[in-house]
Structure 1
C-alpha cells in the first residue's frame, strides 16, 4: 500500500511535466523482456518452472531537466508460492543540473566492487526468491540527493519505508524445511521506520573509493527458530543498526584489486566484516579473442561461527571466460570453500549467450556441499540444482 501511495504522488507530480511538454510521446522509450525458466533439483528429482516479464518505460523531457523511469517486474512459479510475485523495481522521477540532481520515488541503488559478496550494498532489500545468489533486489522507496563536485560525489538518502526480504516457501527445496512466520522488528514503527544513508565516492588515478554510512533497519533478518502450536517456525527479526562501509578498487594493468569492509553496531553485537581479493585478466588467450579472468577473494567476519552470514572465514576462487564474440558468450565458475570446515563448500557455474538479436539463453548451476550440521549451508545440502532460462528482449 505504501508503494502504491508513493507512486500515485509521483504520477501527479510527473503529469505536470507531461502536459507542459508537447513532445511527450516522442520522448518515451519502452523496452523490456519476457521469458521462462526451468530448474531441476538433483536430489528431489523434480522440476520447477516459471514465466516472467519486465517492462521499462523511460521519459526524457526536451524542455526541462526532468526524466521519469518505471520498471515493473512479475513472475509466476509452478512450485514456490513466494516466487510468484510482482514488484515495482523502479518508479523514479529525476531532476538534474550541472552540479546536483535529485531523485524521488522507488528505485534501485548498487554499492560494491567484489564478485562473491556485496557487504556494503544495503539500500535495497534482497529478492531472494528470484536467484539464490542474492543479486536480485526489490525496489526501495527513497529520496536521493546527489552533489557532484571536483573533489567527489556525495549522495544522501531518505528511505521512508522498509521492505521485508522475500524467502522461499515450504514447498521449495531451497527452503531448509521450516515454515516462515510473520516478521518482528526491534523498532516499534516496524515497516514505517525511516532510514538514512550517506555516501561519498571519488576516483583518484587508478583508485576508486567509496565511503558510506547507514542508520536504520537491517536488510538481513536474523532467522530465529520458534516452537509454537504449529510446530517449529523461523521468525525473521529485523534489528536497528548503524553501519559504516568502505569500498576500494585499484586498476593496475591486468589486475583489479578489490576490498569491501563494514563495521556494524546493533543492540545484540558489534562486528566487522570484509571481502578482499583480486581479478587478474589474461587477454587474448591462445592468440584468440577470448579473455580469461582469474578471481580470488577472502571473506572474514569477526563473529566467526556466531554469524548469520555463511561467509565467515571462507575463500572464493573462480574463473570468468569471455569469448568477446557477436553473441556475448560468457562463462563463470567458482567455488567458495569454508576455511574452518573442510567438508563445507559452495560451487556454481553461470553461462550466457545471445541467440540472434532478441533472445538470450542462460544456465545457472549450484551445489551446496556440507557434512557438518552446524554449518549454515548444511540445510541446503539436498538443494543442488541447475536452471536453464530463455529470455526474449524487446
Structure 2
C-alpha cells in the first residue's frame, strides 16, 4: 500500500545590519533591521514517486520598502519514474561549481535585496522534464512568467547612485510574458563531473538607462534584453583537490562575448584536531573588459573555508576579490553556528573598495557593514 508522508518545517529570523559609515545619499537609512519568515511544507505519496513542496518567503524591513517583499520560492509537484522525472510549478535550482560567482546559473532571477552576493534567488515558474540514462541526464525547461530583479529602494543601503527605479523596459514586445527555454546535459567520467547548458530568452541580468523620476531626480531604468547563452560546468576531484571551471558564451543585442571563472579548492583535513580547512583560489575573466556590466572582468579571488565538524555545525568562510587591473576589491566574511536543536546564528561582514568613480564597487564604498541574523528553526 502506498504511504503518504507530510510535514511542516522552516524558520523565523530577525536580522540587523550596522553600517560603518553614514550613507552617501541622505535619503538612505543609517542602519537596518528586518524580520524574515520561510515555512516549508512537503509531502510524498505513491511510494515516494510523487511529491509536493510549498515554500513561501516573507521579509519585512524597517527602512526600505523595496526590501519588504514576499515570494514563492517553491510550489512544485514532482512525478518520478525510473528513467524520467516531471516537475511542474515554481522552483529554485542551482547550476554551477565555482565559489566566487556563478556564470552559468541563469534559470532563477537574483533576489538582490536579500544579499549583495547574488546567492539568493526568486522562485521561477517552469515545466521541467528530466530524462535519465547511462548517458547522463538531460533536463528540458519551459520558463513562462519572467521575474524582475529586486533592487534596494531610495531609502535602502547597498545601492549605488543614482537609485534604480521600479520602472522597467523589455526588448521583447511580450515583456514579462515572453516564454524562455533551456536545456542542460550533465554526466561524469572518472574523476570529472561536467555539464553543458543552453538558454534562450530574457536575460536575468539587466542593462540600465539613465532617466529622471517625477521629481526630477536622476534614476536608472532596468532594461531586460533577449539573449542566448551556452554554458559549461566542469569539476575534477583528486584526493584533497577540487578543480573547477564555469564558462559561458552569450549572444546579446550588442554582440557576443565570453566569460569564465576557474580555479581550485584544496582541503586540509584534521587541522586544529577535528577541523577541516579549505583554501580557495579562482580567476574571474570577462571578454568585455571595462565595458562589462559586472565588476569582475579581470579579478582574482582568494579565500578560506573553516569547518569545525562539531555538533553545532560551526563554519567560517572568508575571501577577497581583487581587481588585477586596478585597486578595486571586495572583502567578505561569513560565519554560522547552531545553538541547540532550533537556533542558528549567522554573521556576515562585507567591505567594498572601488578603484575609480567608474568602478561598479565605488557606489558601495560607504556601505561596508556587519550583519547578524538569529533564526529559530521548527
TM-score normalised to structure 1 length: 0.92
Could you say which residue in structure 1 is the equivalent of 2:225?
Answer: 239
Which residue in 1 is equivalent to 2:168? 183
1:357 aligns with 2:357: no
1:173 Cα deviation from its structure 2 partner? 2.0
Aligned residue number for residue 310 of structure 2: 325
Task: Tell me, yes or no, if structure 1 residue 316 matches structure 2 residue 301.
Answer: yes
In the TM superposition, what is the alpha-carbon distance from 1:82 to its structure 2 partner?
A: 0.9
Matched, 1:113 2:97: yes
Deviation at 1:205, TM superposition (A): 1.4
Partner of 2:357: helix, strand, or coil? coil
Q: Is the 8 A contact 2:90 2:126 kept in 1?
A: yes
Structure 2 equivalent of residue 201 of structure 1: 186
Q: Distance in 1 between matches of 2:48 and 2:92?
A: 24
Q: Distance in 1 between matches of 2:205 and 2:190?
A: 35
Matched, 1:140 2:124: yes
Shift of 1:344: 0.8
Contact 2:2-2:46 within 8 A present in 1 as well: no
Matched residue, 2:14: 36
CA shift for structure 1 position 374? 1.4
After superposition, the C-alpha distances for 1:72-93 in whole angstroms (9 at most, x for unaligned) are 1101001111110110000001
Structure 2 spans left out of the alignment, 5+ residues: 24-29
Residues in 1 aligned to 2:209 and 2:318: alpha-carbon distance in whole angstroms: 33
| Deviation (angstroms), 1:62 | 3.5
- For structure 1, the 5+ residue unaligned runs are 1-20
| Equivalent runs, 1:297-316 vs 2, <5 Å | 297-316=282-301
Structure 1 runs (4+) deviating above 3 angstroms are 21-24
CA RMSD of aligned residues (A): 1.4
Q: Which residue of 2 aligns with 1:9?
A: none
Change (3 A) 1:294 1:187: same
Q: TM-score, normalised by structure 2?
A: 0.95
Provide the C-alpha distance between the structure 1 equivalents of 2:337 and 2:116, rounded to a whole number of angstroms.
21
Partner in structure 1 of residue 325 of structure 2:
340
Partner SS for 2:255: coil
Q: Is the 8 A contact 1:170 1:177 kept in 2?
A: no
Query: 2 CA distance for matches of 1:87 and 1:321?
Result: 32
For these two proteins, the number of residue pairs brought into alignment is: 370
Aligned to 1:81: 65
- 1:14 alignment partner in structure 2: none
Q: Hey, what's the Cα distance between the residues in 1 that align with 2:355 and 2:46?
A: 61
| Greater per-residue helix proportion | 1
1:366 pairs, out of 350, 354, 362, with 350
